[in-house]
Structure 1
Amino acid sequence: MIKIVAIGKVKEKAMNELIAEYQKRLKPISQVMLIELPNSKKQDSDIQGIIEDESDRILSKVSPQDYVILLDLKGKDLSSEKMSEHVMGVLDTSKPIAFIIGGSHGVSDEIRNRANYRWRISNLTFPHQLVRLMLYEQIYRIFMISKNHPYHK
């Protein structure tokens, strides 16, 4: 079981349609659950308060048994093949995986410390909605690589 815990909602219809396509492709392969949490209502001047508020809500959706993969610009940069090996290795132990996409201000040290793995999906900066789509695509690719499916080529 894989869950994606993310701050904010995807608002663009086209982006939602693309995400729905990957959800459809993943359905027969693995249960992937998306948990979207609202952005913090705190004032933009209280960045630390925003980070703590969003991080607390993220952590409330993470179970103690979850293997947490935090999408983090300071995380490890892996090829799709290496990430596939890593994720499939975790799934082989029957541990559920929780991917975390924090808000635009980042996440707390508590989340960084809770993370079992910190993954940099790219050196580039992307809008959070696009990162969500990219993560779905990479999860699908991870499974295709593990099955030696030609999708990956």
Structure 2
Amino acid sequence: MKCHVVAVGQRLPAWAEEACADYLKRFPPEARVVVHAVKAEPRSEGRPVAAVMAAEAARLRAACPKGAHLVVLDERGQRCTTEELAQRWARWQQRGDDVALLIGGPDGLDPALREQAHERLRLSDLTLPHALVRVLLLEQLYRAWSIHAGHPYHRA
């Protein structure tokens, strides 16, 4: 299994880039996680938000490997503890297919893309800055892997 984090937005602050790079290098080769950043659609006056989200959804889909198990991060998604995420990680590994976790743009994800997803998760009940979402997701994926692998990173 290869885990793909596919996110709208190409530029992160230096602190977030550094944190993301740190977590990405921690994963072992058999639990590879890669990040794909896709261009955000320009938000111009008078342009419908639905059109913006549809264009970003097309970019997100294009960046996902064919046949990947799609998991969208959405404020209406299912709440999940770290231990439950570790169980999901184990299921994803057992399936053997690539997994793509999708992070939408400032307006969220296109409703059609949300409906096409195999799973919908929420990271928090709070509204989080985009850069922090990437860092938090990568940290939680690493923690989920560490629980599943019996690595001492996670201490309950």
Give, as a single letter, the amino acid of the residue that structure 1 aligns with 2:146: M
Q: Relative to structure 1, is the Cα distance of residues 44 and 66 closer, same or farther in structure 2, using a 3 angstrom cutoff? A: farther
Counterpart residue number, 2:110:
108
- How far is 1:152 from its partner? 1.1
- 2:17 counterpart of 1:12: no
- How far is 1:138 from its partner? 0.8
Counterpart secondary structure, 1:24: helix
Give, as a single letter, the amino acid of the residue that structure 1 aligns with 2:101: F
Gaps of 5+ in 2: none
Q: Distance in 2 between matches of 1:75 and 1:104?
A: 17
Runs of 4+ in 1 over 3 A off after TM superposition: none
- How far is 1:49 from its partner? 1.5
Give, as a single letter, the amino acid of the residue that structure 2 aligns with 1:38: K
Q: Once the two structures are superposed, what CA deviation does each residue of 1:113-143 show, in whole Å capped at 9, x if it has no partner?
A: 2210000111011011110000110110011
- How far is 1:27 from its partner? 4.4
Q: Distance in 2 between matches of 1:82 and 1:44?
A: 42
Q: Distance in 2 between matches of 1:121 and 1:104?
A: 16
Pairing 1:10-89 to 2, within 5 Å after superposition: 10-46=11-47, 47-89=49-91
Aligned CA-pair RMSD = 1.4
The normalised TM-score by structure 2 is: 0.91
Give, as a single letter, the amino acid of the residue that structure 2 aligns with 1:66: A
Q: Relative to structure 1, is the Cα distance of residues 41 and 49 closer, same or farther in structure 2, using a 3 angstrom cutoff? A: same
Q: Distance in 1 between matches of 2:151 and 2:65?
A: 32
Number of residue-to-residue matches in the alignment? 153
Gaps of 5+ in 1: none
Pairing 1:91-106 to 2, within 5 Å after superposition: 91-106=93-108
Q: Relative to structure 1, is the Cα distance of residues 44 and 6 closer, same or farther in structure 2, using a 3 angstrom cutoff? A: farther
The normalised TM-score by structure 1 is: 0.93
